[in-house]
């Protein structure tokens, strides 16, 4: 399988319009355009009955002590964990492309609706659901794509990986609301092939000034 995008070159910095957060010009961050990127693929294995798309950031701090604290940085050597930005399952196997902005345009407080998704797929919850759970004005069920918004003071540049899976069943055995880890669990033994596409992003002004 092959996965690519017209939105940026594989491994490069993700343009700001595909992020949920952007630099605010004062060393902090504000909400951005939050467009889902264009994605296209080919060479789906024969026998695939559906497609699954997951986007995750594997550089999220495991402790929030220093997160978004002015005058401090989140240490680069802090242990990291996954944060899911997009969980999309049950796409028809004949689908070959997702258009820019077809699944997300702007950041929606309390989350976009789901699980029904365009192109006949189903959206899972992304991890902004947990991130905003304790904030009354933002708490909700965040379905679909919501892009990068790493801590504005993180010393580590974050990596975002889009993974497309060709699946041997037409519908994953999940009902109602589901998460990225739950999808990964149901993919075991059902994947016929996969492909990845990635990008990087930072909101740290020191790193941005250095050209990252």
Q: Which residue has the tokens 């669990």?
A: 185
Dihedral sign of CA atoms 138, 84, 152, 12 in order: negative
List pLDDT tens digits, range 25-76.
888 999 999 999 999 999 999 999 999 999 999 999 998 888 998 889 999 9
Q: How far is CA 128 from CA 32, 49, 57, 148, in A?
A: 15, 30, 12, 10
> From CA 153, how far away is CA 204, in angstroms rounded?
5
List pLDDT tens digits, range 173-202.
999 999 999 999 999 999 999 999 999 999
3-class SS at 160?
A: strand
Domain 2-202: state its class.
alpha beta
> From CA 110, how far away is CA 201, in angstroms rounded?
24
Name the residue ranges covered by the structural domains of the chain.
2-202
């Amino acid at each position: 399988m092959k996965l690519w995008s017209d939105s940026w070159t594989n491994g490069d910095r993700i343009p700001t319009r595909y992020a949920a957060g952007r630099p605010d010009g004062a060393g902090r961050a504000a909400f951005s355009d939050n467009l889902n990127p264009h994605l296209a693929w080919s060479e789906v294995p024969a026998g695939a009955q559906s497609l699954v798309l997951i986007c995750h950031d594997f550089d999220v701090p495991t402790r929030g002590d220093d997160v978004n604290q002015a005058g401090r940085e989140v240490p680069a050597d802090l242990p990291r964990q996954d944060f899911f930005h997009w969980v999309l399952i049950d796409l028809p196997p004949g689908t070959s492309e997702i258009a820019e902005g077809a699944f997300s345009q702007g950041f929606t407080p309390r989350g976009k609706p789901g699980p029904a998704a365009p192109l006949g797929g189903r959206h899972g919850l992304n991890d902004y659901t947990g991130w905003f759970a304790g904030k009354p004005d933002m708490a909700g069920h965040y379905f679909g794509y919501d892009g990068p918004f790493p801590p504005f003071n993180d010393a580590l540049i974050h990596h975002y990986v889009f993974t497309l899976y060709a699946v041997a069943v037409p519908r994953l055995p999940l009902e109602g609301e589901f998460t990225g880890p739950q999808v990964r669990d149901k993919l075991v033994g059902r994947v016929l092939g996969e492909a990845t596409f990635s990008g990087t992003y930072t909101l740290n002004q020191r790193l941005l000034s250095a050209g990252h």
